[in-house]
Amino acid sequence: MKTSRILWSLLLLGCGVLLLLHALNIGQTYDLTRIIASVLLLGISISSFLHRQYFIGTLPLAVILYLWRVPLGLEDMNIVLVIVAIAILGIGLSALLRPRSRHRHVKIHHDFRSNGEIIDAGQDDAAADDAVLGEDEQVNINCSFGEETKYIHARQLKRVNVGCSFGGTKIFFDQCQVAADPLQINLSVAFSGVELVVPRNWAIQDKVSSFASSVSEEGLISRDDEIVNVRLQGSLSFSGVKIRYV
């Protein structure tokens, strides 16, 4: 994602310059650990706001406030209360500012560009037209603060949207029939674990944009049967995705 890449490049460059200045004893003496931690947390926060993940975006701000409590004259601050207050603000912002989907059967409020970039559902007409899919063609899975299994039984599956935050989801694809080449699996996963159980003849292209996350594979892949092409895209932050071939 272009914006994120520029943001993180600038932040890391800034951190590098500060470290260099400190090593060469140039300029003021800084509390480097605090500054670098704050810069990285700020990066996470801005990046989350860009993805419209307000809840995740506000939490690093609480930690930054805590790190700078002495210079800001807030020595007696109650960190627990501040985190709770900021978390509530984040939930409020998520409820207030999340864009509505144009199509009633699209529950997830993100669309995904083919290169894995997340965009607002209301910003791209081509993507919006593409979103008009029937019940048997598109499956939406949302999971927050819980664990669940989902078996997909669709007969003409073209797209699967997975939204998961602070939870765990196991999705079983072995009972569905794919009608698109490639099948799109769109992930919007934060602080969660997602397991995709897929048939062995699936050839999965990993196009996921991830931060502090990983995509791993388990099981044997078979290329003897007819291959089904699948494109895995979207965003992961602080999460793990496991693809299990059965």
Partner 1 sequence: MHVRLEIVDKNQPETAVIRCHELTPEIEAMANLIRRQDVSRQPIVFYKGDEHYYLSLREILFFETDDDHVYAHSAADAFEVKARLYELEAALPGYFVRVSRSAIASILHIYSIQKSLTGVSLVAFRQSHKEIYCSRMYGRELFRKMNERFIYENI
Binding interface with partner 1 (CB under 8 A): 146-151, 153, 170, 172, 174-175, 197, 244, 246
The residue (of 129 and 147) whose beta carbon lies closer to partner 1 is 147
Q: Smallest distance, Å, CB 170 to partner 1?
A: 6
The residue (of 12 and 152) whose beta carbon lies closer to partner 1 is 152
Q: Distance of alpha carbon 224 from its chain centroid, rounded?
A: 34
In angstroms, the CA 71 to CA 54 distance is 27
Q: Smallest distance, Å, CB 147 to partner 1?
A: 5
Q: Smallest distance, Å, CB 183 to partner 1?
A: 18
The residue (of 175 and 229) whose beta carbon lies closer to partner 1 is 175
The residue (of 71 and 219) whose beta carbon lies closer to partner 1 is 219
Among residues 223, 141, 156, 148, the alpha carbon closest in space to that of 187 is found at 141
Q: Smallest distance, Å, CB 103 to partner 1?
A: 17
Compute, in degrees rounded to 10, the torsion defined by CA atoms 126, 127, 130, 134: -140
The residue (of 66 and 151) whose beta carbon lies closer to partner 1 is 151
Q: What element of type H or E holds 127? A: helix 125-130
Asked if residue 218 lies in contact with residue 198, where contact means CB atoms within 8 angstroms, the answer is no
60 preceded by cis ω (within 30°)?
Answer: no
Q: Smallest distance, Å, CB 135 to partner 1?
A: 8
Residues constituting the chain: 246
DSSP classification of residue 116: S
Tokens 């037209």 appear where? 129
